[in-house]
Structure 1
């Protein structure tokens, strides 16, 4: 039994390495098609190595016995995001192939909801898979905001940086780490960010229209984050107020925070 577990663990650890290999193949393909420059190659390789290292460590800590089909879909999306990242990095040195960038981004966005459906249908939903999916989404939005900011201005960077700012703030204010209730509005706003940034970066609309699209994305994101932060703050205050009266211990307080 121990040998089987060890063998399964090794198989799981091979998945990130395969993903890194596919990422390098995609970079080689981009290099042959558009002549990817040094900045694009360096950024793409860095992304591939970082993804392999972080995912391998997460798999080791989670001790998953199977990588799962949903995580493979997410890993495929991460590979596309690596390609987009390389193209955006290359755009600082030369004019980017907008059509190719839009194509890779479109496929990555379309696959966004596929991994979740696969996980539910195959019964392979895991906390690691959900976190992996979220991090890939967040990084794609960050990269797209960098690309669009080159045309619309640095204010667009707020779209990509907001989630990371929230994570940083949670280190200072632990009450921001409490789980949020499911929200269709939050999911809609999150999906809207990628679509708006894709449209603004495609060059299909006039500059004024792109400004409006970017403003819509940022405004909706500010509303979504503001609503969630307010909910978390009210929940944390309610817990603090109820604790002295009920005499609950740390375990009970945590239950109050996570109860919806």
Structure 2
């Protein structure tokens, strides 16, 4: 072995498999439950791609949070960043396939959105875990779930939202920014600045939607 070479050797045992499979099984169970309202007779290639993305997200999550010392292993981090990039790229594939095969549905859109939300939560946790930003970075991943909880107390927030390119662009921006700050070459304070910019964009997007929901209901 070359002197000074990295000694980090992740042990992919059954514990690691359990870390991957436990959240993935939960996601798939919720997906099966949602199929009751699915209007098509086949699951479809678009949903298969989304399901594969969910598996990649769970793999990334298990790798980040299962192994100690990962923050100092550049080769491993670059592999994870590459996986994140592939997962992000596939986010555009499922929508294309749904349109291509005329299998667009509310179920597919919700499935895609929830995988994205979970992905952002995992990446924001990884940013904190790797010391790329302070605990406030978790707000990026928790904001979507906070909005859902707020809807329990303010029913007007549960109203339908119009399709929005801005909303989709902000989602992609969150993942891209979080992916960037996970790169070994990006360190504080630059990583914190990038995360703060991503959070600001997300706050703005949620503020626009919340204002729309509250004002539309107030005016009937």
For the criterion TM > 0.5, the same-fold answer is yes
TM-score normalised over the length of structure 1: 0.75
- State how 1:1-260 maps to structure 2 within 5 Å: 34-36=10-12, 40-62=16-38, 64-91=40-67, 93-95=68-70, 97-150=76-129, 151=131, 152-239=133-220
> Given that residues 98 and 202 in structure 1 are in contact (C-alpha distance below 8 angstroms), is that contact kept between their aligned partners in structure 2?
yes
> Given that residues 23 and 58 in structure 2 are in contact (C-alpha distance below 8 angstroms), is that contact kept between their aligned partners in structure 1?
yes
> Given that residues 73 and 115 in structure 1 are in contact (C-alpha distance below 8 angstroms), is that contact kept between their aligned partners in structure 2?
yes
C-alpha distance in 2 between matches for 1:67 and 1:86: 27
> Given that residues 43 and 89 in structure 1 are in contact (C-alpha distance below 8 angstroms), is that contact kept between their aligned partners in structure 2?
no
> Given that residues 38 and 105 in structure 2 are in contact (C-alpha distance below 8 angstroms), is that contact kept between their aligned partners in structure 1?
no
| Residue 42 to residue 94, structure 1, CA distance change in 2 (3 Å) | farther
Higher helix share: 1
Higher relative contact order (CA 8 A, sep 6+): 2
Deviation at 1:42, TM superposition (A): 2.9
> What is the aligned length?
206
C-alpha distance in 1 between matches for 2:164 and 2:40: 28
Deviation at 1:223, TM superposition (A): 0.7
Cα offsets for 1:34-89 (capped at 9, x unmatched): 42367643321212221221122222454742101111111111111111111122
> Given that residues 83 and 104 in structure 1 are in contact (C-alpha distance below 8 angstroms), is that contact kept between their aligned partners in structure 2?
no
| 2:161 match: secondary structure | coil
TM-score normalised over the length of structure 2: 0.87
Of the two, which has the highest radius of gyration?
Answer: 1
Report the equivalent of 2:5. none
The Cα RMSD (Å) is: 1.7
Unaligned ranges ≥5, structure 1: 1-32, 240-260
> Given that residues 64 and 70 in structure 2 are in contact (C-alpha distance below 8 angstroms), is that contact kept between their aligned partners in structure 1?
no
